[in-house]
């Protein structure tokens, strides 16, 4: 869960693009329905949280020069790795007491060889970001 303030809302016919600015200055973009914008009472300056399921996170090396359609690129340092039978959990420390968890296959871990202390980036599609607010 990444908490920030709504920086902008760009409405469309059905969906809106909502940009949150985290305390670190990094932005997270979410695509949600216009009805959700209304039901959550979203407006510029309102505090909201971005929820991202770990299996939706694509983890890349920080030095990758790839260009993707994923709107969110959150870079940090690997702080923990837990290898399971099929998947590996990788925790990426973004600073400011904020982290993102990625669930990758063991094959991907063997290929990328992420290690604690190594830089990495989390790629997340805007449509995979769920927004929440406290009442």
45-82 pLDDT per residue, tens: 999 999 999 999 999 998 878 888 999 999 999 999 99
pLDDT of res. 9 = 98
How would CATH label the architecture of 54-123?
Beta Barrel (2.40)
Strand partners, 74: 122
CA distances from 92 to 38, 82, 95 (A): 32, 12, 9
Query: Would the pTM count as exceeding 0.85?
Result: yes
3-state percent breakdown (helix, strand, coil) of the chain, nearest 5: 15, 55, 30
**Euclidean distance between CA atoms 128 and 135, whole angstroms:** 23
Asked if residue 123 lies in contact with residue 69, where contact means CB atoms within 8 angstroms, the answer is no
Strand partners, 85: none
Share of the chain above pLDDT 70, in %: 100
Per-residue pLDDT of 114-124, as tens digits, reads 999 999 999 99
Q: Which helix (H) or strand (E) holds 99?
A: strand 98-105
72-95 average pLDDT score: 97
Could you tell me the residue ranges of all domains in the chain?
2-51+127-132, 54-123
Class of domain 2-51+127-132: mainly beta
């Amino acid at each position: 869960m990444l908490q920030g303030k709504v920086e902008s809302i760009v409405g469309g016919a059905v969906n809106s693009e909502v940009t949150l600015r985290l305390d670190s200055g990094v932005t997270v973009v979410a695509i949600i329905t216009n009805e959700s914008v209304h039901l959550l009472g979203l407006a510029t300056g309102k505090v909201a949280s971005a929820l991202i399921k770990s299996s939706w996170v694509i983890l890349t090396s920080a030095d990758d020069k790839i260009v993707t359609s994923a709107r969110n690129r959150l870079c940090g340092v690997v702080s923990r790795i837990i290898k399971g039978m099929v998947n590996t959990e990788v925790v990426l420390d973004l600073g400011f007491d904020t982290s993102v968890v990625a669930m990758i296959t063991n094959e991907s871990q063997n290929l990328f060889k992420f290690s604690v202390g190594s830089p990495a980036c989390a790629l997340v599609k805007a449509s995979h970001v769920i927004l929440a607010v406290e009442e």
